[in-house]
């Protein structure tokens, strides 16, 4: 194997399933190195995907299911696997904020180490129209194949920004006029009492551990989701959805 091929292999990864592959074709087709489709699939869904792939100039390979199983590992691939360039595009918060035509709505994730939770948060962020998801480089799972699969295409529609210092990034957001609200069970205000109609960043930590102290202290204010049952906390993706859609509700009510 040549050094160039080794570099390509080292910087590539697989994404699995129709949602993830179709989203990549729509939003970042140049990152697709090749698409493997089960040789026996000729249904309408497969034909539609192949048409999109051909229009994008992607390389299509008819592949036996056993090989697809090997590429996908333990994940369900639905008969389609794409090999893509794993290098993330460098995104800058300032560029995203400058291009907005409405008040910013951001999701900041502190210490999320489960890829299933990250993927679910990206799906929620996409549904709520979040402009970017921000996460630290350290003590976080990163956008791996499992997170991309769980995100069902949202990993390619929602900008995902990795930062080296989360507290510093929060201060930069505050300087840019974004109100940073930390979700914390011990807060005195509920999410329904906090004004979210202006530029807003919701900051959430992992279930159980919650926000780190410095992250918590850097937020403009803290708010809680009122809990009416016996459980004390919610999964971070569920909590994200509740907070983000409350922001959308307030903006629609305005």
Concatenated DSSP letters of 8-60 = HHHTEEEEESHHHHHHHHHH-GGGEEEEEEETT--SHHHHHHHHHHHHTT--E
234 is known to lie in a ligand binding site = yes
205 is known to lie in a ligand binding site = yes
In contact, 64 and 72? CB cutoff 8 Å: no
Residue whose entry in the numeric block shows the structure tokens 């008819």: 62
Concatenated DSSP letters of 147-215 = HHHHHTTGGGTS-EEEES-HHHHHHHHHHTTPEEEEE-TT-SSBTTSS--SSSEEEEEEBTTTBS-HHH
Which is nearest to 127 in space by CA: 158, 156, 98?
Answer: 158
Please tell me what DSSP assigns to residue 139. Answer: S
Which is nearest to 160 in space by CA: 174, 173, 142, 145?
Answer: 142
Question: Is residue 223 helix, strand or coil?
Answer: strand
How far apart, in Å, are the Cα atoms of 247 and each of 18, 105, 107, 125, 176? 31, 8, 11, 12, 19
How is residue 240 written in tokens?
A: 């994200």
Question: Is residue 68 helix, strand or coil?
Answer: helix
Binding-site residue numbers are: 205, 225, 234
Binding-site residue numbers for S-adenosyl-L-methionine are: 205, 225, 234
């Amino acid at each position: 194997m040549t050094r160039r091929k080794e570099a390509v292999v080292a910087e590539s990864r697989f994404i699995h399933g129709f949602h993830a592959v179709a989203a990549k074709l729509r939003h970042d087709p140049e990152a697709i190195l090749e698409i493997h489709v089960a040789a026996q699939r000729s249904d309408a869904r497969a034909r539609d995907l192949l048409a999109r792939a051909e229009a994008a100039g992607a390389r299509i390979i008819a592949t036996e299911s056993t090989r697809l199983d090997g590429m996908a590992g333990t994940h369900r691939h639905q008969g389609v696997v794409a090999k893509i360039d794993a290098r993330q595009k460098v995104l800058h918060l300032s560029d995203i904020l400058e291009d907005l035509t409405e008040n910013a709505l951001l999701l900041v994730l502190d210490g999320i180490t489960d890829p299933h939770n990250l993927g679910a948060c990206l799906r929620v962020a996409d549904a709520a129209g979040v402009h970017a998801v921000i996460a630290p480089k350290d003590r976080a799972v990163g956008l791996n194949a499992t997170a991309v699969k769980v995100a069902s295409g949202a990993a390619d529609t929602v900008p995902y920004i990795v930062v080296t210092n989360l507290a510093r990034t929060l201060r930069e957001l505050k300087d840019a006029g974004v109100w940073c609200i930390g979700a914390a069970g011990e807060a005195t205000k509920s999410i329904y009492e906090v004004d979210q109609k202006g530029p807003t960043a919701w900051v959430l930590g992992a279930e159980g551990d919650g926000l780190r102290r410095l992250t918590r202290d850097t937020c403009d204010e803290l708010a809680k989701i009122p809990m009416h049952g016996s459980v004390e906390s919610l999964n971070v993706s569920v909590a994200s959805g509740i907070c983000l859609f409350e922001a959308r509700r307030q903006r629609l009510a305005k």
